[in-house]
């Protein structure tokens, strides 16, 4: 089922011709090097359970916008909830930019005029809220039919929005998107012993991917309980295999953020490390980011500066070949914009963000990858972690011993720690089973959770530090 995207307020109060005329008017008559206006209308549904109880259910709407102006190297940003007096709000941004001063430049971008309507496979906004609640009731009942559960959180959210972007360069773009997510966290307890299991899924406009998760919900609850009786691993260096979810998180968290160019040019040490042309892995290693992949939660046609989406190789055949840019960072570093300027809503200016980040597949089957490991660890899923420059620490959602080339007993959750660049060098096998995880959101600069996806095939890493309890 494909639905046409129409939101009431912009089509009713500001029809397509009216909004274009108003924005065009608002951009005229100012003395500035560059001006842009972004107007956004949104609608969302949220349902959340904490334990057995329904904690939240409701729908929200939003309407607002912002203006950015560049005057003699000074940037200014103004956001607003009322679209009346749009030209005055643009003038405010221009005045403030003139007072700031600075050295900001923007790399040139071609003017774009386009209207992008999302293709929605099963529109969540055609599903009554009562039906959504009924489905979540079923999921929550399955969790609480499992003995040993102490508490749980089950959250569903869908959203749709339309964004109008216009600039003094001559761009005028209308884009719509529909987003759906569900996240389940289950905690089991026995005495002072506590374990957790997580399920997270999402889609770009397909409610159907949220349905039919009953078996996975049951497995998540059971896994939390099973972890209570699992043994802990003896900490040390092991050969490990990461499943596509955890490997994708590694690509995003440990390396992807280092490829966001605002981090690079603001940090002297990172500039010394992240030099284009430097080798970080074997020829089998390719890491990509880009919004120009249809159907993924990090995908779009144009970023929030009106730059077309791209596919950007960050690492190609083991060598650092690219990074992620806004128009501002591209100008600062003498490189090309990559279409990675994103804002979580009209309340924020766009900053450099990832989109869909993944390790490209190669040709090593899982059985071959695991076959020569005498003693190692197979890690799947994740539920936490942190990075500090090139150092990372991740908590795996599940872990199993590998013994003599086979997946063996379930382990208590393990923690993976290391230097991202050393770890990239130690990736010695990449599978042929790429899978994208679309249940997550990314946080940066106070803007969270931004829709992204990440993924990978199974990968094998030698000499990885694994910690237990």
Distance CA 83, CA 89 (A): 9
Distance CA 246, CA 252 (A): 10
Distance CA 172, CA 189 (A): 55
* Greatest C-alpha distance within the chain: 74
pLDDT at 17 (0 to 100): 62
267 contact partners, CB below 8 Å, separation of at least 6: 389
Q: Which residues pair with 387 in a beta bridge?
A: 392
pLDDT at 197 (0 to 100): 95
pTM of the model: 0.93
Q: Which residues pair with 238 in a beta bridge?
A: 464
pLDDT at 384 (0 to 100): 73
16 contact partners, CB below 8 Å, separation of at least 6: 115, 174
Low pLDDT (below 70) residues in the chain: 1-17, 469
User: Which DSSP string do the residues of 242-296 spell out, in sequence order?
Assistant: E-HHHHHHIIIIIIIGGGBHHHHHT-HHHHHHS-TT-B-S-TT--EEEES-STTS
User: Which DSSP string do the residues of 344-356 spell out, in sequence order?
Assistant: SSTTS--EE---E
Tell me the residue ranges of DSSP E strands in 102-242.
113-116, 149-167, 172-190, 193-203, 236-242
Instruction: State how beta strands 149-167 and 172-190 pair.
Output: antiparallel
Distance CA 322, CA 229 (A): 46
pLDDT tens digits along 296-331 = 999 999 999 999 999 999 999 999 999 999 999 999
Is 326 within 8 Å of 355 (Cβ atoms)?
A: no
pLDDT at 165 (0 to 100): 98
Distance CA 168, CA 158 (A): 33
User: Which DSSP string do the residues of 70-102 spell out, in sequence order?
Assistant: EETTEEEEEEES--TTHHHHHHHHHHHHHHH--
pLDDT at 18 (0 to 100): 83
Domains of the chain in sequence order: 8-229 (3.30.2290.10), 236-467 (no CATH)
- Read off the tokens for 151: 């508490």
pLDDT at 389 (0 to 100): 85
How many Cβ atoms are within 10 Å of 296's Cβ, its own excluded? Answer: 23
pLDDT at 15 (0 to 100): 54
Distance CA 165, CA 306 (A): 7
3-state percent breakdown (helix, strand, coil) of the chain, nearest 5: 25, 40, 35
Radius of gyration from C-alpha coordinates of the chain: 24
Scanning 320-456, the segments in alpha helix (DSSP H) are 327-333, 366-371, 420-425
Is 241 within 8 Å of 453 (Cβ atoms)?
A: no
């Amino acid at each position: 089922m494909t639905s046409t995207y129409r939101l009431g307020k912009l089509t009713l109060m500001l029809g397509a011709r009216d909004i274009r005329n108003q924005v065009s008017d608002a951009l005229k008559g100012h003395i500035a090097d560059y001006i842009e206006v972004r107007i956004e209308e949104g609608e969302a549904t949220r349902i959340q359970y904490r334990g057995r109880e329904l904690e939240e259910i409701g729908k929200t709407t939003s309407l607002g916008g912002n203006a950015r102006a560049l005057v003699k190297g000074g940037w200014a940003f103004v956001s607003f909830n009322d679209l009346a007096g749009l030209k005055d709000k643009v003038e405010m941004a221009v005045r403030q930019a003139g007072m700031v001063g600075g050295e900001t430049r923007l790399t040139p971008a071609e003017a774009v005029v386009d209207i992008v309507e999302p293709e929605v496979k099963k529109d969540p906004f055609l599903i009554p809220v009562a039906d959504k609640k009924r489905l979540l009731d079923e999921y929550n009942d399955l969790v609480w039919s499992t003995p040993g559960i102490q508490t749980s959180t089950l959250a569903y959210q869908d959203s749709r929005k339309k964004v109008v972007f216009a600039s003094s360069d001559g761009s005028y773009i209308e884009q719509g998107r529909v987003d759906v997510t569900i996240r389940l966290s289950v905690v089991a307890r026995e005495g002072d012993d506590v374990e957790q299991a997580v399920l997270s899924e999402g889609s770009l406009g397909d409610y159907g991917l949220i349905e039919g998760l009953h078996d996975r919900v049951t497995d998540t609850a059971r896994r939390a309980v099973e972890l209570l009786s699992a043994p802990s691993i003896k900490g040390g260096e092991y050969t490990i295999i990461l499943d596509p979810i955890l490997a994708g998180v590694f690509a995003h968290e440990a390396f992807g953020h280092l490829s966001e160019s605002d981090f690079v040019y603001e940090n002297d040490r990172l500039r010394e490390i992240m030099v284009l042309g430097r080798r970080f892995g074997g020829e089998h290693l390719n890491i990509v980011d880009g919004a120009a992949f249809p159907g993924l939660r990090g995908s779009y046609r144009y970023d929030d500066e009106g730059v077309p989406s791209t596919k950007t190789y960050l690492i190609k055949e083991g060598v650092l070949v690219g990074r992620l840019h806004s128009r501002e960072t591209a100008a600062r570093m003498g490189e090309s914009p990559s279409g990675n300027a994103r804002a979580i809503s009209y309340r924020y200016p766009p900053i450099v963000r990832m989109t869909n980040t993944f390790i490209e597949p190669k040709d090593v089957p899982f059985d071959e990858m695991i076959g020569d490991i005498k003693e190692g660890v197979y890690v799947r899923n994740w539920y936490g972690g942190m990075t500090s420059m090139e150092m990372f620490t991740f908590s795996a959602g599940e872990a199993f011993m590998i013994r003599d080339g086979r997946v063996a007993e379930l382990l208590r959750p393990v923690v993976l720690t290391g230097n991202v660049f050393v770890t990239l060098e130690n990736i010695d096998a990449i599978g042929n089973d790429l899978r994208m995880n679309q249940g997550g959101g990314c946080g940066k600069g106070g803007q969270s959770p931004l829709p992204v996806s990440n993924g990978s095939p199974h990968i094998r890493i030698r000499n990885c530090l694994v910690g237990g309890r």
